[in-house]
Amino acid sequence: MSQAPARRRWFLYGIVALVFAGGAWYFGVRKQAAPVGMGGQWRRNNNQPTPVRAEVAQRRDMAVLLRAIGTVQPLNIVTVRSRVEGELLRVAFTEGEFVEQGKLLAEIDASTYRSRLAQMEAQMRQNAAQLRTAKADLERFQQLNGQSLISAQQLEAQQALVADREGALAADQAQVDDARRQLAYTKIEAPIAGRLGLRQVDAGNLVRPSDAKGIVVITQMRPIAVTFTVPEMDLRQVIEPLRAGEQMQVQAWDRNEQTLLATGVLKTVDNQIELATGTLRLKAEFTNADEKLFPNQFVNVRLRVRTLSQAVVVSGAAVQFGSRGTYVFIANEKNEATVRDVVLGPSDGAMQSITKGLEGGERVVIEGVDRLREGRPLILVEKDGQSPAAPAAGGPGGAPKDGAKGGKAGTTK
């Protein structure tokens, strides 16, 4: 009875040993011989050349940009309303058209205002005649007073009458001017140049100065402004060149940052920082001759604050971040990977400037870096996925010895 359990234990021990032996064979021998990668390449050892794409670090001027989200705002927007009450006889504009300042937009029935003007002019002529009569009487009273034929009190009364008539005539003149102005208001003209919106009222309706919607809205499109905000920490970069009188270029891009809509200049900054957000509002002005910027449109703003002269510039994809800091992989003369620690400068998004650790003309790996280590052989692959002329098989940067097409391995088109 005691020998049976012992046999079972030895039998289980043997099964466990076979499982460990099979796992060691699978992961240690067969795994190295199994096909992996694109193009049917076989990774036989860790020194197999790795296909990568590289670019040459350039030394050139680089713009330092601040990025923000902005809103397009017109410099002027006017709701055209009638200044007088009356029937709208005619609408003299087309919705959406561009109008110049002073163009006739609409006409209001002017018959009532012509009658009022005629009445005021008649009253003024009546008072003018009375004034002439009073002045003539005053001249006779002055002569009679010199001859002591009338009293001084009568002369003073006549002088007061002349002054009264002069005041009445001046009041009539003011009423005539007001009537003429009211008559002129029956023709509604564009107060500014801009693009018209949709018509708010049709001909035949009664319009009043108190109408909230007015007749039409004119929006100034050329030039136009864009307002945006920058963080408080970037305030010095903006204020110093602006106060020095520099023309700071501003670019407006579409939502996807694929199309440049317009280029303008920074005009002014707000006089205080918003406490809730810690940002400062800025306003840029664009000529907008092609009217690609539209009021209330959201745009991506790039503000150029300065330019780095002859900086070493690489693609942002080449920069790696790790426990050692920031670094890049260099493809040396032997087509082997070399790790290089770098110090980063300003970036414009796609491109990154390097202030220390890299020189212009060196080849920097931008694709395939996840499989690299110090000293690993490289296959430099072009952007279209084709490998350049390969050296002797098996050498540094050469093609694999098994003849597989490795030119497209590890590349991104």
Which CATH number characterizes residue 95's domain?
2.40.50.100
Same domain, 42 and 168: no
Residue 9 lies in a domain: no
Where a domain ends, among 184, 202, 237?
Answer: 184
379: which 2 tokens?
């296959």
The answer to whether residue 264 scores a pLDDT higher than 90 is: yes
The answer to whether residue 401 scores a pLDDT higher than 60 is: no
Q: What's the burial of 138, exposed, middle or buried (CB within 10 Å: 0-12/13-18/19+)?
A: middle
In the chain, the number of structural domains is 4
Q: What percent of the chain has pLDDT over 70?
A: 84
pLDDT in tens, 295-348: 999 999 999 998 888 899 999 889 999 888 999 999 988 888 999 999 998 887
The answer to whether residue 45 scores a pLDDT higher than 60 is: no
Assign 42 a pLDDT band (cuts: 50, 70, 90).
very low
Same domain, 86 and 210: yes
Where a domain ends, among 291, 309, 327?
Answer: 309
Tell me what pLDDT residue 26 has: 65
Query: For 268-282, what is the mean pLDDT?
Result: 94
Residue 158 lies in a domain: yes
Tell me what pLDDT residue 402 has: 39
Tell me what pLDDT residue 63 has: 86
Same domain, 257 and 338: no
Assign 36 a pLDDT band (cuts: 50, 70, 90).
very low
**Contacts with 44 (C-beta within 8 Å, 6 or more apart), sequence order:** 32, 33
Query: For 44-57, what is the mean pLDDT?
Result: 79
Same domain, 44 and 94: no
Same domain, 405 and 331: yes
Same domain, 292 and 197: no
Same domain, 119 and 156: yes
Residue 24 lies in a domain: no
| Cα angle value 105/111/112 (rounded, 5°) | 110
Residue 22 lies in a domain: no
Query: Residue 127's domain spans which residues?
Result: 111-184
Residue 25 lies in a domain: no
- Position 115: which residue type? S
Same domain, 339 and 412: yes
Tell me what pLDDT residue 393 has: 36
pTM of the model as a whole: 0.66
Residue 18 lies in a domain: no
pLDDT in tens, 145-203: 888 888 889 889 989 999 999 999 999 999 999 999 999 999 999 999 999 999 999 99
Where a domain ends, among 173, 195, 219?
Answer: 219
Same domain, 250 and 384: no
- Higher-confidence position of 20 and 246: 246
- Higher-confidence position of 2 and 101: 101
**Contacts with 213 (C-beta within 8 Å, 6 or more apart), sequence order:** 79, 200, 201
Tell me what pLDDT residue 151 has: 87
Residue 7 lies in a domain: no
Residue 11 lies in a domain: no
- Output the domain CATH number for residue 130: 1.10.287.470
Same domain, 324 and 385: yes
- The answer to whether the Cα torsion of 289, 294, 296, 302 is positive or negative is negative
Same domain, 86 and 198: yes
Same domain, 81 and 71: no
- Output the domain CATH number for residue 326: 2.40.420.20
